[in-house]
Structure 1
């Protein structure tokens, strides 16, 4: 949660102009992508592609929002991650991949450029384009990046946006070439089963490696780790992406299924385990910080138990919503998030990873916490009255 007072000291060109320019740039990229895709497959196929791509993206996005529950990141930042993946990263990768395909056809012979693009160019530059957003949040919005879970969330949503746009084209092209498909030729139904049912998490899985690497860097006080961890995460993402594309481009159906079941599925399970472990760790960090907050009189003793678990927090918000309305429940949610963020910041300060502005940020965050609690109490009291 960012302190609204900080915006007073930020030049208007940064708080207003840059976000507007960024949104216009992403919108322009999106329009260009739609125009290019429609020109290749036709309007009807494009509409089919959009409809089919919408189905898997919802559960994927919902999964990452579920992961991001202890200390929810700003909604505008999460949607910016998705928008960058869907527009900015996609058009960047498209331009580079098309160039690589043309160079491949020139050097290796006609028809071989697509293999070079799929196995070399796409893994290198698509993962770099997607990972750029995660790295930018870490470098320029350090207060919104607490560790591995945040890295996974930002990376996953960026990759979900990328996969959404990519699926529109793949589904549209399948429909344009084969229609819905039949027993002799695969169509959009087969493409949907492959990309939307069997492997909707492949792109997020690749980029999550970058998120984990940047998250490890955020939690480390060692300069070497802060450099090597993101680099190793990027290398892991590139290798997984290249392996996946090679199994689909060069291998047989057996090769593809082998990579799917022996590499991707176990790795996906390992990431789920890592997320579960880190969420439990976050819970322990928050629970350990609450008694100190009681001593400082920032929270009440009776609030320790409901603040110590996601279930307790959810029941608290539900109870306030029934009694005092949605606005009061939202205010309680902001208060809960401020408690979490202060607990994570105290951990960073103790570990020496908060940076030179850690103590200043803490003072600002304490003020945010107090204000959030006042708003929660006031909203509840006004509705009750």
Structure 2
């Protein structure tokens, strides 16, 4: 009996409403959690403390978020999911940690005496609770949105935004408390500025660094097919996050100012520098993955061969979008950006398939991403200059814009090797490489089924002084 692979769900009006309503409700719920957390904090620091704390907490959050968005340039994650990550940290994780930490400190005071709850809560309870609440978002992505995890970089980006959101709400508490405790004294501004310098200048990446341990583990776990292996790797990352968090809080609680700055300089700064090195190395690896996949894409007719140099580097992609924006406007530039992102998504997935690190649903993912790539390219072709503006010079004589009616071939020509196993068959097993390029190398698809070149193969080329694409 032949298994029949089911296609994507039919986009009925009811399903479309659900796809829009569910994220909106989630964002509203997370926002409410954040407001409740701030309201609880406000009962202890007052309205003025909340206002001052919020204004001061906004100062470091912008650069921190911008840093992680910069890291996420090769394969930009869905903006809605990035917003979810930040609100998860600022809303749900902050509120649940506030409740659990306060409850644990109360029982510790009752059992061990007044004052012990603050110490145990900061050094023992808070690291376990807070890293668990922040890490729950990453675990949820692994369970329900595993397609969004292409490696370590994605884990660092999501973990960093969750940590940035959590730190934002926590900074409101600390900065507001500094203002509330000293507002009747002459040194009020000094206390607030001192706290802002410590939390906003010296350690704005503290919470993102802790949670990044879980994020790195989640990125590694996403490439494992064994469930036990994935669980074990995530737990190891979580343990690393808890250890760093406990060391940070413990040094501030027991070692005083000198010991705290010693831990900061000897342990935290080198770890942060190592994280930067890991991000740089991982971005270079991602660029190599994309560059290796692009020739096969061009051979298969999924992209134009002349686009390969433009898509092979961040400089080429950025220059392409800027040129399109200057000549064709913002919407055309966004269409090209979406096309570039679709190419990267498919390249990463095929690399994971070649490593044997995806599940049986990879065939469906592959087909969906390929459809998305074709649709993104079609939107870019809708503006004829969107795929040609990167030349920066007037088109050569005889050049014609690509036809807007072009559509990708529904099926390859008879006799060609399929780009993927037929429906019902499993993807390649671990260690079995995916055939690359997907079509035979003798010339690729016929000219009538290739995406339009810019300029066509038989068109005169630009003079050497064009110097495009950038190298």
Q: TM-score category by the smaller chain? A: over 0.9
In the TM superposition, what is the alpha-carbon distance from 1:223 to its structure 2 partner? Answer: 4.2
> Aligned partners of 1:242 and 1:236: how far apart in 2?
10
In the TM superposition, what is the alpha-carbon distance from 1:66 to its structure 2 partner? Answer: 0.3
Q: Is the 8 A contact 2:100 2:129 kept in 1?
A: yes
For the structure 1 residues 233 and 57, does the alpha-carbon distance in structure 2 shift closer, same or farther, using more than 3 Å as the test?
same
2:136 paired residue number:
132
1:306 paired to 2:348: no
In the TM superposition, what is the alpha-carbon distance from 1:17 to its structure 2 partner? Answer: 4.3
In the TM superposition, what is the alpha-carbon distance from 1:225 to its structure 2 partner? Answer: 3.0
Larger deviation, residues 221-230 vs 140-149: 221-230
For the structure 1 residues 7 and 79, does the alpha-carbon distance in structure 2 shift closer, same or farther, using more than 3 Å as the test?
farther
Q: Is the 8 A contact 2:324 2:386 kept in 1?
A: no
1:94 paired residue number:
98
TM-score of the two chains, using structure 1 as the length reference: 0.94
> Aligned partners of 2:21 and 2:307: how far apart in 1?
41
1:244 aligned residue (234, 248, 254): 248
In the TM superposition, what is the alpha-carbon distance from 1:258 to its structure 2 partner? Answer: 1.0
2:301 aligned residue (297, 304, 311): 297
Bigger share in helix: 1
Structure index of larger Rg: 2
2:261 aligned residue (257, 264, 280): 257
For the structure 1 residues 244 and 182, does the alpha-carbon distance in structure 2 shift closer, same or farther, using more than 3 Å as the test?
farther
> Aligned partners of 1:131 and 1:206: how far apart in 2?
10
Match runs of 1:138-157 below 5 Å: 138-157=142-161
- Would you say how many aligned residue pairs link Structure 1 and Structure 2? 381
Q: Is the 8 A contact 1:119 1:242 kept in 2?
A: yes
> Aligned partners of 1:287 and 1:275: how far apart in 2?
18
> Aligned partners of 1:271 and 1:181: how far apart in 2?
41
2:37 paired residue number:
33
1:197 aligned residue (195, 201, 224): 201
1:226 paired to 2:230: yes
1:354 paired residue number:
358
Deviations 1:124-182 (A, max 9, x none): 01000000111111110111111111000111000100000000111011011124987
1:65 aligned residue (62, 69, 72): 69
Match runs of 1:1-385 below 5 Å: 8=11, 11=15, 14-179=18-183, 187-381=191-385
In the TM superposition, what is the alpha-carbon distance from 1:224 to its structure 2 partner? Answer: 4.2
> Aligned partners of 2:90 and 2:70: how far apart in 1?
21
Q: Is the 8 A contact 1:327 1:379 kept in 2?
A: no
TM-score of the two chains, using structure 2 as the length reference: 0.77
CA root-mean-square deviation: 2.2
In the TM superposition, what is the alpha-carbon distance from 1:221 to its structure 2 partner? Answer: 3.7
> Aligned partners of 1:180 and 1:194: how far apart in 2?
22
In the TM superposition, what is the alpha-carbon distance from 1:27 to its structure 2 partner? Answer: 2.5
> Aligned partners of 1:108 and 1:195: how far apart in 2?
30
Q: Which runs of 5+ in 2 are unaligned?
A: 1-7, 390-400, 402-471
